[in-house]
């Protein structure tokens, strides 16, 4: 394995979040040059709050020797303790699996993961250009691709990889009739609380199926409480509506939603300084066309999952590494992209479906809540045994294994 690039073979990667920089590093290791084009002027470092990188995502990063980045920025959170809004204990389950060497899932700020991945990609020789929002792309007569950006510039390469997120422009270029994001009837909001005491130590996420909304929190090793809430919302709010909802309105709404629950949610929300912003939850269950000619979408651009799956970042990393292996071993780009889809589609669509079921359970009505709280202890006991989600967390990518058409 080396970081030299084959003369004349170059990938244009659209998107500098997670999948983009990882794909660039993996391609470089596979002997293929890559340039990352990021739409934001300085990177999307304010996107989202925090995320969990599951054990399978860390294992995929290990394939290109980049796993230490996540381990250095995050903190371990290998368990989830689940309860009802009445305080009833429903069960404890693993959060993300455990690798053979004992490595467990890591919780970290999305901005920190973005930054460290980009910095490492640059350190390894990858060029990242900012302020490059993709406008259009065309396949050239020789099978390459030309990308055109909103600032009037162009770039030429042998293939275009769209790692540009759930609202991907690349996806529409590949297939103008491609589906858009699907709204899941819960909102997301989160923050970091200080100077608040909770009965939870580092290493465990506390998840609460409250009477009116879902709440989760974990204690950072510093003592800071990282939390998120999922207020149910049947109709999808507009971006303008969400932007117009100020911090104090969010705070009042959340404290009202959790006022009757036997949890520290109200105290945590009250102790959270700074601005609060909410956003809608979306996924992308099935995109019929992932690639056309020398263009392909990966990560959220191809199969976004709701945050409830805990797999969004990990799937993006897996995608990037698997794609690099396919392009390394199959010189024909069409064969390589077809092999990639064959290796990935079934797995990622199963994860998206799992995440949607979990998110919808958070928005259950009164009868649904009763049935859910009766059934969850049985379901969670089966999950805790380690078998029911092994297919998700035990996924391993062997970098040295050859991909065949």
How many other CB atoms are there within 10 angstroms of residue 117's CB atom?
Answer: 26
pLDDT digits (tens, 9 = 90+) for 312-333: 999 999 999 999 999 999 999 9
Query: Could you tell me the residue ranges of all domains in the chain?
Result: 10-74+109-181+284-363, 189-282
pLDDT digits (tens, 9 = 90+) for 95-115: 888 999 999 999 999 999 999
Residue 19 makes CB contacts below 8 A (sequence gap 6+) with 163, 298, 299, 300, 301, 316, 317, 319, 320
pLDDT at residue number 370 = 63
Pairing of strands 159-162, 10-14: parallel
pLDDT digits (tens, 9 = 90+) for 86-96: 898 888 888 88
Establish how many alpha carbons lie within 13 A of residue 54's alpha carbon, considering only the half-sphere containing its beta carbon. 27
- Sheet with 154-157, strands from edge to edge, namely 134-139, 145-149, 154-157
Using the structure block, give the residue that is written with the tokens 């797995």.
347
Q: pLDDT band for position 368 (50/70/90)?
A: low
The mean pLDDT of 368-389, rounded to a whole number, is 67
pLDDT at residue number 7 = 46
Q: Which CATH superfamily is domain 10-74+109-181+284-363 in?
A: FAD/NAD(P)-binding domain (3.50.50.60)
How many other CB atoms are there within 10 angstroms of residue 331's CB atom?
Answer: 10
H or E, element range at 138: strand 134-139
pLDDT digits (tens, 9 = 90+) for 26-56: 999 999 999 999 999 875 555 558 999 999 9
pLDDT at residue number 356 = 85
């Amino acid at each position: 394995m080396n970081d030299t690039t084959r003369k004349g073979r170059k990938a244009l990667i659209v998107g500098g979040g997670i999948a983009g920089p990882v794909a660039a590093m993996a391609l470089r290791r596979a002997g293929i040059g890559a340039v990352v084009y990021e739409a934001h002027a300085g990177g999307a470092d304010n996107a989202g709050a925090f995320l969990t990188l599951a054990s399978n995502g860390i294992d995929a990063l290990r394939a290109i020797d980049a796993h230490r980045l996540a381990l250095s920025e995050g903190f371990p959170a290998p368990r989830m303790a689940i309860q009802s809004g009445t305080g009833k204990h429903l069960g404890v389950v693993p959060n993300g699996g455990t690798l053979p060497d004992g490595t467990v899932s890591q919780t970290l700020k999305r901005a920190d993961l973005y930054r460290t991945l980009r910095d490492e990609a640059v350190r390894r020789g990858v060029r990242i250009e900012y302020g490059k929002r993709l406008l259009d792309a065309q396949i050239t007569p020789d099978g390459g691709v030309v990308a055109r950006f909103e600032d009037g510039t162009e770039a030429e390469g042998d293939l275009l990889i769209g790692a540009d997120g759930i609202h991907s422009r690349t996806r529409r270029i590949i297939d103008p009739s491609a589906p858009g994001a699907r709204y899941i009837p819960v909102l997301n909001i989160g923050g970091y609380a200080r100077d608040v005491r909770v009965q939870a130590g580092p290493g465990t996420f506390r998840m609460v199926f409250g009477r009116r909304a879902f709440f989760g929190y974990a204690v950072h090793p510093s003592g800071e409480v990282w939390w998120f809430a999922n207020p149910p919302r049947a109709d999808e709010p507009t971006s303008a509506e969400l932007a117009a909802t100020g911090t104090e309105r969010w705070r009042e709404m959340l404290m009202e939603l959790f006022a009757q629950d036997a949890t520290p949610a109200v105290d945590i929300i009250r102790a959270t300084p700074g601005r609060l912003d909410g956003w809608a939850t979306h996924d992308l269950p099935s995109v019929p066309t992932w690639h056309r000619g020398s263009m392909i979408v990966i990560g959220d651009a191809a199969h976004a999952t709701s945050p409830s799956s805990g797999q969004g970042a990990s799937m993006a990393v897996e995608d990037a590494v698997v794609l690099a292996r396919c392009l390394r071993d199959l010189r024909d780009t069409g064969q390589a992209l077809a092999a990639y889809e064959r290796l990935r589609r079934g797995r990622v669509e199963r994860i998206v479906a799992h995440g949607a079921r979990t998110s919808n359970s958070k928005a259950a009505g009164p009868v649904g809540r009763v049935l859910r709280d009766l059934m969850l202890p049985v379901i969670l006991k089966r999950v805790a045994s380690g078998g029911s989600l092994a297919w998700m967390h035990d996924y391993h990518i062997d970098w040295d294994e050859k991909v065949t058409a």
